[in-house]
A and B are shown apart, each in its own frame.
Chain A
Amino acid sequence: MKIYVPRDAAARALGADQVAEAVLVEASRRGMTIELVRNGSRGMVFLEPLVEVETAQGRTSFGPMTPADVPALFDAPDTHPKAQGPVQLIPWFARQTRLTFARVGLIDPLSLGDYKANGGLAGLRRALEMSSDERMDEVKVSGLRGRGGAGFPTGIKWDTVRLAQADQKYIVCNADEGDSGTFADRMLMEGDPFTLIEGMAIAGLTTGATRGYVYIRSEYPDAIHQMTEAIRIARLNGLLGPSLLGTGPAFDMEVRVGAGAYVCGEETSLLNSLEGKRGTVRAKPPLPALQGLFGKPTVVNNVISLATVPWIFANGAQLYRDFGLGRSRGTIPLQIAGNVRFGGLFETDFGMSLGEIVNEVGGGTASGRPVKAVQVGGPLGAYFPASKFATPFGYEEFDGQGGLIGHAGIVIFDDSVDMLAQARFAMEFCAVESCGKCTPCRIGAVRGVETIDRIAQGDAAAMPLLVDLCDTMRDGSLCALGGFTPYPVMSALTHFPDDFARMKEAAE
């Protein structure tokens, strides 16, 4: 009997370690030998810890489990009160299109054998048989765009690095994942780290880069552990090293740990941080693709962008491209969070409407109160009111509605939220995290907090000042921290004016 208890950070935060312990104790009490696998999460955080039991009859799930629920797993699994049936039949799971996350939760994350048995390395093997131009075309044809936020075509970025002449090129994976409401990078690295390694290896092969770094935020100790172990195992097995899989060129990589600065998710700030400097943002040009890490041509890509590449190479670019909507091709791992009944990671084709995501997949709020606002795309993303729920999930579609999809974090708020407080928080966050390089962001955000405080005290004259300040930040900031903070602020002000007027009336 094989028992799976996730070691994903969210599962652990909900007691998975205690459940795993109880499973071992119960098995030994009964003198049974079981195999305990600490898998990744299947993404259904509302069911975590989600335990799976595999017997000759197949694999079936139980959740959310507590240590007290464990003995019944052994006694009467069929009538267990927490029985959820086979995971692939749970409706929340069944309606997804899991390409990038296909193996997450399914396999033992650190078993290269499991990885290969479930399609792992097929992408790299095919890439190794292709010519340089064919590899490049594969990425371009797939239509893959950066999942870190900006949505830049991955193929074009790679081609710039490929065509650059240099004695050293780098692949840098951006695993800083600082956006509130996001955890796709974390779940991928914890649940299927070899996919990221394979994606980075293909990136190295395609662009001529031989060294890679994964820059992981310090807030993710579990992801750091899993990635470090996976890299060690990959090297031991000749996947990484002087020759990729023993036939290709050299490629090796290592993990680097961030130090609690949100702005280090911005690619040039990240490069400075990797070089051991303050994480200030660099002016562009030069592009990192031409002068990146230590001045060398560098691919900087998000975890999900890179981890999707193996699927594309294994299954074909055209197949990937067939999923999606408009210029948003393929799938997107939505992260449904905040005050929501069924929260978690939901991978689906682009194109689902925001309302469907919030109400049908998410099941509305956990509190049972009406949804008031949904922030999409992290702390620099706009707050959407219910009147915009028809917006389909896609880069251009959200841009057209005055928002952005960012890293696809979706944070749901019920009607108890005070949108003035949320706008103030956006400015405060920008002030705390500003790298200090440009005035509109560094000073503007501090002024923004003060101005919102004046509005809160009933000073209506401060309203136009806030609008001006947002214009200045939007137009005059070097990077999107200062430049996009106006999104949450202005969307709050525009769509929820009552929250900004209420205090004024109270003061009069």
Chain B
Amino acid sequence: MLDTADFSSRLSEIIAAHQLQEGPLLPILHDVQAEWGHIPEPAIPAIAQALNLGRAEVHGVVTFYHDFRATPAGTTVIKVCAAEACQAQGGRDLVQATLRAFGLRDYGTTLDGKVTVEPIYCLGLCACGPAALVGDRLIGRATAQSLKDAAQ
């Protein structure tokens, strides 16, 4: 899937765009993930070299943050709020109903790779919960059905 020549040149562009900033690593990782949907393994040594860091150090940063993925997610990512204010509004049931609606036992990706369901801890929509994010669409007072519709 990753054409090597394209990959390296795009990666160099991303690195170059941030290299002169103070603390460029997170902005670079965000752009890498936006480009490829995850942090491809070969990106790590290249970033490490460009920023004069150890590979282990870059790897350590990638694994520390929940946002960065080692493998691509499903085509549509549904993040259901699992935090307290949404729990108070039926959030626990929404999580279960959403998993069921996509035939999942636990958080993860459907077999056909179409949908990933994950928890998120607060979207700042705590007065209109339970809340969720489907792709880049925010949904308040969500139901499993409204999330399913939004994922279509």
User: Most B CB atoms within 10 A — which of A12, A259, A278, A425?
Assistant: A259
A contact residues around B88 at 8 Å (CB): 337-339, 411-414, 417
Q: Is A228 an interface residue (CB 8 A)?
A: no
- Whether A335 contacts B66 by the Cβ 8 Å rule is no
Q: Are B87 and A337 in contact (CB under 8 A)?
A: no
Cβ contact within 8 Å between B121 and A262: yes
CB < 8 Å neighbour of A13 from B24, B85, B92, B140: B140
Residue of A nearest to B30 (CB): A257
- A414: chain B residues at CB < 8 Å are 88
Residues in A whose Cβ lies below 8 Å from that of B140? 10, 13-14
Distance from A277 Cβ to chain B, minimum over Cβ atoms (Å): 6
- Expressed in whole angstroms, the Cα–Cα distance for A337 and B129 within the complex equals 9
User: Are the C-beta atoms of A256 and B27 separated by less than 8 Å?
Assistant: yes
Residues on A with beta carbons closer than 8 Å to the beta carbon of B129: 337-338
Which residues of the partner chain B approach A344 to less than 8 Å between Cβ atoms? 127
The residues of A that contact B131 with a CB separation of less than 8 Å are: 13
**Cβ-based interface call for A177 (8 A):** yes
Chain A CB within 10 A, most for which of B85, B121, B131: B85
A251 CB to nearest chain B CB (Å): 15
A274 touches B126 (CB 8 A): no
In the complex, A429→B66 CA distance in Å? 13
Residues A182 and B61 in contact, CB atoms below 8 Å apart: no
Task: Among B22, B61, B124, find the residue whose CB has the most chain A CB atoms closer than 10 A.
Answer: B124
Question: Contact between B121 and A10 (Cβ–Cβ < 8 Å)?
Answer: no
Instruction: Report how far A256 CA is from B123 CA in the complex, Å.
Output: 18
Taken together as a complex, chains A and B put the C-alpha atoms of A9 and B127 apart, in Å, by: 12
Number of residues on chain A facing chain B (CB within 8 A)? 60
User: Are A183 and B68 neighbours in the complex by a CB distance under 8 Å?
Assistant: no
A261 touches B64 (CB 8 A): yes
Q: Is B65 touching A337 in the complex (CB atoms < 8 A)?
A: no
Name the one of B22, B23, B64 contacting A278, with C-beta atoms under 8 angstroms.
B64
- The residue in A179, A180, A259 that gathers the most chain B C-beta atoms within 10 A of its C-beta is A180
Contact among B25, B86, B121 for A276, CB-based, below 8 A: B25
B14 interface contact, C-beta 8 A: no
- Is B97's beta carbon under 8 Å from chain A? no
Q: Is the CB of B84 within 8 A of A375?
A: yes
Query: Which one of A9, A257, A261, A366 contacts B66 once the chains associate, using CB atoms below 8 Å?
Result: A261
Top 8 A-B residue pairs of the complex, sorted by shortest distance between their CB atoms? A276-B25, A343-B127, A259-B65, A180-B83, A13-B140, A338-B88, A337-B126, A260-B66
Show 22 A/B contacts (Cβ-Cβ < 8 Å), sorted by A.
Answer: A9-B138, A10-B125, A13-B131, A181-B85, A183-B126, A183-B127, A186-B124, A258-B67, A259-B29, A260-B66, A260-B120, A262-B121, A277-B25, A277-B61, A278-B64, A280-B64, A294-B22, A337-B129, A338-B85, A340-B127, A375-B84, A409-B126
Task: Add 5 more A-B contacts to A277-B61, A421-B92 (CB < 8 A).
Answer: A46-B127, A218-B67, A294-B22, A366-B89, A417-B88
